[in-house]
Amino acid sequence: MKIAILGGTGPEGAGLGLRWARAGHEIIIGSRDAARAQKKAAELGTKVKGASILGTANRDAALSAAVVVLTLPAHGLATTLPPVKEVCRGKPVVSAVVPLTFGGARLYTPPPNGSAAEEAQALLGPEAKVVAAFHHIAAHELASGHPIDCDLLLCGDDPSAKTIVAELGKSLGVRVLDVGPLANAGPLEGITALLATINRRYKIKNSGIRITGI
């Protein structure tokens, strides 16, 4: 599958790109700066021999891909998404965005829409098929070579889009659990703040989450 990762030059986006490239997917790293995206793509390409990893500007990346993944800072959604709105129509758009504010009174503060994923849906319009997923797999884990030890929780309103995103999760070797509509994205994103706190408190980098009883 051809996957565009907008904000793919950061640790989370690059880690997802690396893992998906190893699984045989075609990766397009997107950035506001095409040259920066190309540099990151070339760097990732040295780690996965024979992989298809390209870099380009965000809009061109989204235009070329079957699935668009958002690994942007939350404050960047309002400027990044309107220019790609038209090229995201009818496509699954995965939001791994979490509105975290380090050093403030609250680590996690959801936007007025309820979650970053719902904000992305509002900015992209109803024809984009937004799915919230991949929040709880740490960039440190993605960059490693060992199996990922956590579940993948996802939510969204379009069943076909959730099926596609679930397959992307399975290609990373993780168990995938559908936790309902996009309205549940806020609680999903909030768990990331808890994991970040656990990492700091216990001086680790890779806390994750598993659901028992299933």
User: How high is the pLDDT of residue 26?
Assistant: 98
* 207 is a domain residue: no
Assigned domain for 108 exists: yes
State how far the Cα of 10 lies from the Cα of 44, in Å rounded to an integer. 12
> Which pLDDT band, with edges at 50, 70 and 90, does 104 fall under?
confident
Q: Is residue 91 situated within a structural domain?
A: yes
First to last CA, the chain: 29
pLDDT in tens, 169-181: 999 999 999 999 9
Average pLDDT over the chain reads 96
What is the average pLDDT across 40-47? 96
- Print the domain residue range for 155: 2-202
The pTM of the full predicted model, rounded to 2 decimals, is: 0.96
The reported pLDDT for the residue numbered 110 is 87
Per the structure, the count of domains in the chain is 1
Q: What pLDDT score does 188 carry?
A: 96
3-class secondary structure for 149-188? CCCEEEEECCHHHHHHHHHHHHCCCCCEEECCCHHHHHHH
User: Is 165 inside any structural domain?
Assistant: yes
Residue 85 has pLDDT above 90, yes or no: yes
Q: What CATH number has the domain bearing residue 174?
A: 3.40.50.720
pLDDT value, residue 106: 85
Q: Please determine, for residue 31, whether its predicted confidence score (pLDDT) is greater than 80.
A: yes
Domain presence at residue 84:
yes
Residue 130 makes CB contacts below 8 A (sequence gap 6+) with: 93, 94, 95, 117, 118, 120, 121, 124, 156, 157, 161, 182
Domain-embedded: residue 27: yes
